[in-house]
Amino acid sequence: MAEEAIKLGGKRKSVFIDKVKKLLPEGGNLNLCLTCGTCSAGCPATGLEGMDPRKFLRMAALGLDEEVINTPWIWMCTMCYRCVYACPMKIDIPALVYAARASWPREKRPKGLVGSCDMALRNMSHSAMGTPPEDFTFVVEDVLEEYRETQPEFKDMEAPIDKKGAHFFLNQNSREPVTEPDEMVPLWKILHIVGADWTYASKGWAAENYCMFLADDDSWKKIIETSVDAAKELGCKVFLNTE
């Protein structure tokens, strides 16, 4: 079945066209950026729901706000920023996608993202798996002890938590300590071999931030602030975001 064409006509009060213009670099020409296709070439979401970054931006530029806001494609964008890096005009298409997501009522946004965001806010770990700080500490210490005993070459390996003055502050995808704890170890080994001075924090250690993908500004800000405050409190100089 042929895809129904988008009909143009009449005058619409556009909101997104103004957003597009604000995202252009100084002296940029919006019309020139809409024909090269480099944004779509490297996009992992190109073709899903019959949409791609170039088409999405074109719709916004034409004032098709309703179509831009309602396309489910905005929830398939990974926010990887490949389109921005590829674009000769450096147009921030993910920022436009984020604005479209934020326009949806929260109860109509993808249930998986809403649930993961809400779960992350239940304790100070901010883990999308709901793992509290004490459980994370237990798992890390248990796995570390096992590897020290079974692999003598790593008998001095450390996986510190809340280590004051460590140079690197490391976060962790919370799925691994819950479902695949052994997957944390390879990175520990690398850090051990190179002699890195690092630490986890018991608060804000979870690396994923589904609230950001949900376009929930207040919630993702809270999550980020918890991690940053923990890093500052420990006196770490470098924040290593594993996600």
Q: What is the mean pLDDT of each run of 10 residues along the chain (243 residues)?
A: 54 66 62 77 93 89 86 94 88 88 94 96 95 96 97 96 98 94 97 98 95 95 96 97 86
Question: Are the C-beta atoms of residues 234 and 197 closer than 8 Å to each other?
Answer: no
Q: What is the pLDDT of residue 14?
A: 64
Instruction: Please tell me the distance from the alpha carbon of residue 5 to that of residue 73, in angstroms, as a whole number.
Output: 17
Q: What is the pLDDT of residue 216?
A: 96
Q: What is the pLDDT of residue 36?
A: 85
| Buried b or exposed e, range 163-197, using 16+ CB within 10 angstroms | beebebbbbbbbbbbbeeeeebbebbeebbeeebe
Count Cβ atoms below 10 Å from residue 221 Cβ, excluding itself. Answer: 12
Question: Are the C-beta atoms of residues 110 and 75 closer than 8 Å to each other?
Answer: yes
47: region left, alpha or beta (phi > 0 left; psi from -120 to 50 alpha): left
Nearest-10 crossing angle of helices 16-23, 53-61: 120
Q: What is the pLDDT of residue 33?
A: 63
pTM above 0.75, yes or no: yes
Q: What is the pLDDT of residue 12?
A: 55
The neighbouring-strand residues paired with 161 are: 200
